[in-house]
Amino acid sequence: MPAFRLHYFDSRGRAEIARLMFNAAGQEFDDVRYSKEEWPAFKPKTPLGQLPVLEVDGKLYAESGAIFNYLARELDILEPFPLLRANRKTVESNSRLAAYLKTRK
């Protein structure tokens, strides 16, 4: 499995689905969060000047929808991914995801 770093702001926003996917799959990743002050220095290094960006083995990829699609396949959670069913009970039945939901910012 590649090394994953998810770059986003210190909020849920457009990155939270990816965070949920990593947690649901039990896949380790670096959750890199930028403050307003830190963002201008990183912005020119991103593919499209926006976040989220997923870093896979050092390569940067943009666009949340493409990131979610890629992760669903790469983490093999296309079928069991609970959010696709949008069902609270299903989400809570995944112990890793339930644990993350209790601790997330």
Q: Which positions touch ligand GSH (CB under 6 A)? A: 13-14, 43, 50-52, 63-65
Spatial distance between the Cα atoms of 75 and 73, rounded to a whole number of angstroms? 6
Q: Shortest Cβ distance from residue 9 to ligand GSH (Å)?
A: 7
For ligand GSH, the closer CB: 19 or 94:
19
Place of tokens 């666009």: 63
For ligand GSH, the closer CB: 50 or 69:
50
Q: Shortest Cβ distance from residue 86 to ligand GSH (Å)?
A: 19
For ligand GSH, the closer CB: 51 or 75:
51
Q: Shortest Cβ distance from residue 22 to ligand GSH (Å)?
A: 17
DSSP for 27-58 reads: ---EEEEE-TTTHHHHGGGSSSS-S-EEEETT
Pairing mode, strands 4-9 and 30-34? parallel
Spatial distance between the Cα atoms of 66 and 94, rounded to a whole number of angstroms? 24
For ligand GSH, the closer CB: 40 or 58:
40
Place of tokens 């699609």: 69
